[in-house]
Amino acid sequence: MYRRELAGSLACDAPPPLPQAADTGRVQRWETGHGVLYHRRYAVRIRDADLSAELLMARLKRDPNHAAPSAFATFHKTRGDEGTMRVGDEYVVRMPGPWDGPVRVVEVDSRSYRLATLESHLEAGQIRTCATDDGSTLEFVVESWARSGDRVSDLLHRRLHIAKEVQLHMWTSFLERVVALCRGRMEDGISITTWRVDDVAG
């Protein structure tokens, strides 16, 4: 596992705009959050995968729990049909302690899906999951752009580092399970890059 933290900027590290067609009711936009804006990228390269990028994402869209580490997090669908993922669907990500987080699907295609956090989530922002392949190697990436949802969450994340470590273990475990799901070999470990943007009002 390779971790690095870099100085970021709003110009480069703010989340992408929400799609115009997305339902933004109850969405916690990053602008309404508190503290530092973190842009994180968890990435793994997989050799000799049995699944293509499209097949892998099709499985995760049918049920994210195919790769969710049950010891850290499980996805419970609260809106939308089971066995599929469409824009407007909602989930609650259940985690140990007071970490449960409601999210809504705001974008989905054959190789990716993007979620926005909803009211009462510890974070205000977005997270995108995607896969790409070049025939011999598959890359799987989880990318997030978020600030703490409120001042208490900011304290837990930035000063006590509790939420930060829970997230780290959740997403590294998720990527490890994706490698197992693909029946491939991890190449060069898991890369975790964080861009930290301090010059955010609020």
Query: pLDDT tens digits, residue range 132-175?
Result: 998 789 999 999 999 986 665 665 656 555 566 777 888 999 99
pLDDT at 157: 57
User: CB of 88 within 8 A of CB of 73?
Assistant: no
Locate 133 and state its tokens.
Answer: 């392949």
Strand partners, 34: 148
Q: In this predicted model, what pLDDT tens digit does every residue of 69-106 receive, in sequence order?
A: 887 789 999 999 999 999 999 999 987 666 678 999 99
Q: In this predicted model, what pLDDT tens digit does every residue of 16-65 receive, in sequence order?
A: 999 998 999 999 999 999 889 999 999 999 999 999 999 999 999 999 99
CA dist 202 and 200 (Å) reads 7
pTM score of the predicted model: 0.92
CA angle 70, 71, 74 (to 5 degrees): 35
Side by side, which strands form the sheet with 101-109? 2-7, 185-197, 34-47, 137-148, 123-133, 112-117, 101-109, 90-94, 74-79
Helix (H) or strand (E) holding 153: helix 151-154
Structural domains of the chain, ranges and CATH numbers in brackets: 24-197 (3.30.530.20)
